[in-house]
Structure 1
Amino acid sequence: MSPTKTLFRNIHLWLGLGTGLLIVFVCLTGSVLAFEQEIEQAWYPARYFVAPATTPRLPLTQLAEAVKAYKPKARISSFKLYADPARTVEVSLAGDANGKEAQGNARGGAGQMPGKGGPGKGGKGKGAAGPRIFVNPYTAAVTGELNPRDNFFKTVEQLYRGLVAGKTGKLVMGVNSVVFLFILGTGLVLWWPTARKALKPRLTVKWGSNWKRLNHDFHISLGFYAAVFLFIMALTGVGMSFDWVGTGINKLTHSPLKRPEPPTSAAPVVGGTAPLAADAMLALARQQAPDAESYSVQMPKEPTGSIRVAILRPGAITESATYEVYLDQYSGRIISSQTYAQKPVGQRIRGLFKPVHTGAIGGLPTKILAFTIGLLGATFPITGTIMWWNRRRKSRRARPVENVILVGMN
Structure 2
Amino acid sequence: MTPLKATIRTIHLWLGLATGLVLVFVCLTGCILAFEKEIEQSWHAERYFVAPATTAPLPLAQLVAAVQAAKPKAKIGGLKVYADPTRTVEISLAGGLGGKGGAGRGRPTAESPRGERLERAAGPEGPGKGKGKGGKGDAGPRLFVNPYTAAITGELNPRDNFFHTVEQLHRGLVAGPTGKLVMGINSLIFVVILTTGLVLWWPATRKALTPRLRIKWGSSWKRLNHDFHIVLGFYTAVFLLIMALTGVGMSFDWANKVLGAVTGTPLKRPEPPTSTPIGSAALAFSPDALLAWARQQAPQAQYYSLQLPKEPTGSIRVAMLPAGALTDNATDEVYLDQYSGRIISQQPYTGRNLAQRVRGLYKPIHTGAIFGLPSKVLALVVSLLGATFPITGTVMWLNRTRKSRKKQPALQPA
TM-score bracket for this pair, using the shorter chain length: over 0.9
Residue 139, structure 1, aligned to residue 149, structure 2: yes
Deviation at 1:274, TM superposition (A): 4.5
Deviation at 1:403, TM superposition (A): 3.5
Deviation at 1:179, TM superposition (A): 0.4
CA deviation vs aligned residue, 1:266-312 (integer Å, no higher than 9, x gap): 32234x46431011111111111000011111111122321111111
> 43-52 vs 324-333, which deviates more?
324-333
Question: What does residue 330 of structure 1 align with?
Answer: 339
Residue 95, structure 1, aligned to residue 95, structure 2: yes
Residues 28-47 of structure 1: pairs in structure 2 closer than 5 A: 28-47=28-47
Question: What does residue 198 of structure 2 align with?
Answer: 188
Residues in 2 aligned to 1:141 and 1:398: alpha-carbon distance in whole angstroms: 75
Residues in 2 aligned to 1:33 and 1:345: alpha-carbon distance in whole angstroms: 27
Residue 303, structure 1, aligned to residue 304, structure 2: no
Residues in 2 aligned to 1:168 and 1:120: alpha-carbon distance in whole angstroms: 23
Residues in 1 aligned to 2:149 and 2:339: alpha-carbon distance in whole angstroms: 29
Specify the code of the residue in structure 1 equivalent to 2:305: S
Specify the code of the residue in structure 1 equivalent to 2:380: F
Q: How many residues align?
A: 404
Question: What does residue 218 of structure 2 align with?
Answer: 208
Question: What does residue 246 of structure 1 align with?
Answer: 256
Question: What does residue 67 of structure 1 align with?
Answer: 67
Residues in 1 aligned to 2:48 and 2:92: alpha-carbon distance in whole angstroms: 14
TM-score (norm 1): 0.93
The secondary structure found in structure 1 opposite 2:305 is strand
2:375 to 323, 345, 366: 366
Gaps of 5+ in 2: none
Residue 235, structure 1, aligned to residue 237, structure 2: no
Question: What does residue 108 of structure 1 align with?
Answer: 111
1:170 to 180, 185, 193: 180
Specify the code of the residue in structure 2 equivalent to 1:53: A
TM-score (norm 2): 0.92
Deviation at 1:265, TM superposition (A): 2.6
Residues in 1 aligned to 2:299 and 2:136: alpha-carbon distance in whole angstroms: 33
**Contact (CA 8 Å) 2:122, 2:307: kept in 1 or not?**
no
> 331-340 vs 379-388, which deviates more?
331-340
1:278 to 287, 292, 300: 287
**Contact (CA 8 Å) 2:27, 2:386: kept in 1 or not?**
yes
Deviation at 1:59, TM superposition (A): 1.1
The secondary structure found in structure 1 opposite 2:85 is coil
The percent of aligned pairs where both chains have the same amino acid is: 65
Gaps of 5+ in 1: none
Specify the code of the residue in structure 1 equivalent to 2:78: S
Question: What does residue 162 of structure 2 align with?
Answer: 152
Deviation at 1:184, TM superposition (A): 0.5
**Contact (CA 8 Å) 1:284, 1:332: kept in 2 or not?**
no
Deviation at 1:116, TM superposition (A): 9.4
Question: What does residue 313 of structure 1 align with?
Answer: 322
Specify the code of the residue in structure 1 equivalent to 2:236: A
Residues in 2 aligned to 1:165 and 1:353: alpha-carbon distance in whole angstroms: 22
Residues in 1 aligned to 2:217 and 2:312: alpha-carbon distance in whole angstroms: 69
Residues 11-50 of structure 1: pairs in structure 2 closer than 5 A: 11-50=11-50
Residues in 2 aligned to 1:114 and 1:151: alpha-carbon distance in whole angstroms: 22
CA deviation vs aligned residue, 1:56-112 (integer Å, no higher than 9, x gap): 011111111111111111111110111110000111111139997734787412452
**Contact (CA 8 Å) 2:335, 2:344: kept in 1 or not?**
yes
The secondary structure found in structure 2 opposite 1:149 is helix
Question: What does residue 376 of structure 1 align with?
Answer: 385
Question: What does residue 258 of structure 1 align with?
Answer: 268
Residues in 1 aligned to 2:170 and 2:207: alpha-carbon distance in whole angstroms: 41
Residues 349-364 of structure 1: pairs in structure 2 closer than 5 A: 349-364=358-373
Question: What does residue 84 of structure 1 align with?
Answer: 84
Residues in 2 aligned to 1:248 and 1:89: alpha-carbon distance in whole angstroms: 39
Residues in 1 aligned to 2:90 and 2:20: alpha-carbon distance in whole angstroms: 40
> 35-44 vs 105-114, which deviates more?
105-114
Taking a change above 3 Å as real, the CA distance of residues 398 and 121 of structure 1, as seen in their structure-2 partners, is same
